[in-house]
């Protein structure tokens, strides 16, 4: 008999009852304000905040950011970009030229960034509302102690939920309400999660059946400012949020430590904070990055790219940000990974680096 294929690592979350703790220790941390709203998406929550603020000026967005979200926000008001790269240096404050009537979107990029510089900027610019995006670590010490006008987090980036955009106001500002009904995309995403769970359990579920539902669900959810789905609202209070965060951060640190000094000409980016969002590698070129993506996929390791920028379409205009986006991938280590999964990722990345070293040819890993 042929050997069983290697376990899949990464891609969309599946439905996993093991992540439920029940009312004893489950759900949002107790410090999350009771005065909060739960939207279908983080983007939808951002759009709702902008409608509430109704600013007369511009929205300042980090140049290393999801361009799809930035484009959606540009429907609310003009968008301009300031430089913020995943290089551990934080925002380049000289590029953030905000004036009265503007709004600033800050992000804790990959869960690495520090709060103190943003607090200092907000203290020096009290008339300019700041919205913090904590999607990569929604329950960090920074989020807990935020002084921003608003905090938003897309929960399905880190939690096994079909949708969910959490919003609150540390400054006590008015919270916008959701607009419209639940998105049909959440139901499609949930169906995909259930089918994927069966597929992972060895049931005769065609992979394309849940992949098609995942894609359709994401398309339907795109930018939705409606309420979070009934499923997300029911599951979230029972979910092992703290355990998932701790397991994901621990796996990321294990992977980072195991890769240290073994990635050839690739660079492990940034990596600070108590719960880093996965592990990012920067390759010498886009071709090298895509070659490693293909190698990982051949081993059933599905690494996303955060985030592509199309210089012929909607992009930041920041060549350094776009160049890094061209060369970077995210190794998909999260709470689902075992130590064996982490070591398998290390083996794939370092074997590519080893071949590069022996051949002298730039294959990159």
Q: Is the pLDDT of residue 268 over 50?
A: yes
Task: Indicate the pLDDT class of residue 360, thresholds 50, 70 and 90.
Answer: very low
Average pLDDT taken over every residue of the chain:
94
Q: Report helix, strand or coil for 303.
A: coil
Predicted local distance difference test score (pLDDT) of residue 352: 72
Q: Report helix, strand or coil for 70.
A: helix
Predicted local distance difference test score (pLDDT) of residue 182: 96
Residues 6+ apart with CB under 8 A from 307: 64, 65, 66, 67, 68, 325
The single-letter DSSP state of residue 152 is: E
Q: Using a pLDDT cut of 70, give the percent of the chain over it.
A: 95
Task: Return the closest-CA partner of residue 42 out of 143, 159, 133.
Answer: 133
Q: Report helix, strand or coil for 36.
A: strand
* DSSP letters spanning 312-352: TSS--S-HHHHHHHHHEEEE---TT--HHHHHHHHHHHHHH
pTM for this model (two decimals): 0.94
Predicted local distance difference test score (pLDDT) of residue 82: 98
Predicted local distance difference test score (pLDDT) of residue 249: 96
Predicted local distance difference test score (pLDDT) of residue 272: 79
Model confidence pLDDT, tens digit, residues 286-310: 999 999 999 999 999 999 999 999 9
């Amino acid at each position: 008999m042929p050997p069983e294929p290697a376990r899949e690592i990464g891609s969309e979350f599946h439905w996993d009852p093991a992540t439920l703790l029940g009312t004893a220790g489950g759900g949002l941390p107790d410090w999350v304000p009771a005065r909060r709203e739960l939207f279908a998406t983080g983007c939808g929550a951002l759009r709702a905040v902008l409608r509430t603020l109704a600013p007369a000026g511009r929205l300042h967005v980090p140049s290393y950011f999801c361009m799809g979200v930035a484009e959606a926000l540009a429907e609310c008001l003009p968008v301009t970009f300031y430089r913020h790269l995943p290089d551990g240096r934080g925002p380049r404050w000289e590029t953030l030229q905000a004036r009265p009537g503007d709004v600033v979107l800050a992000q804790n990029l990959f869960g690495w960034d520090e709060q103190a510089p943003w607090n200092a900027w907000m203290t020096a610019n009290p008339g300019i509302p700041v919205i913090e995006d904590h999607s990569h670590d929604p329950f960090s010490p920074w989020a807990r102690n935020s002084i921003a006008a608003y905090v938003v987090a897309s929960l399905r980036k880190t939690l096994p939920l079909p949708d969910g955009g959490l919003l609150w106001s540390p400054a006590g500002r008015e919270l916008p309400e959701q607009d419209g009904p639940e998105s049909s995309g959440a139901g499609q995403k949930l169906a995909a999660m259930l089918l994927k769970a069966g597929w992972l359990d060895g049931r005769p579920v065609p992979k394309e059946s849940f992949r098609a539902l995942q894609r359709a669900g994401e398309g339907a959810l795109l930018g939705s400012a409606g309420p979070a789905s009934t499923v997300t609202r029911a599951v979230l209070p029972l979910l092992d949020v703290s355990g998932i965060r701790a397991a994901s951060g621990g796996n990321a640190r294990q992977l980072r430590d195991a890769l240290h000094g073994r990635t050839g000409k690739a660079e492990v980016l940034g990596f600070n904070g108590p719960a880093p969002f996965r592990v990012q590698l920067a390759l010498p070129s886009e071709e090298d990055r895509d070659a490693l993506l293909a190698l990982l996929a051949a081993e059933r390791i599905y690494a996303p790219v955060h985030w592509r920028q199309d210089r012929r379409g909607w992009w930041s205009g920041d060549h350094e940000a776009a160049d890094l986006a061209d060369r970077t991938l995210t190794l998909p280590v999260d709470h689902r990974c075992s130590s064996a999964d982490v070591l398998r990722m290390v083996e794939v990345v370092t074997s590519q680096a080893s071949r590069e070293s022996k051949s002298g040819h730039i294959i990159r890993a």
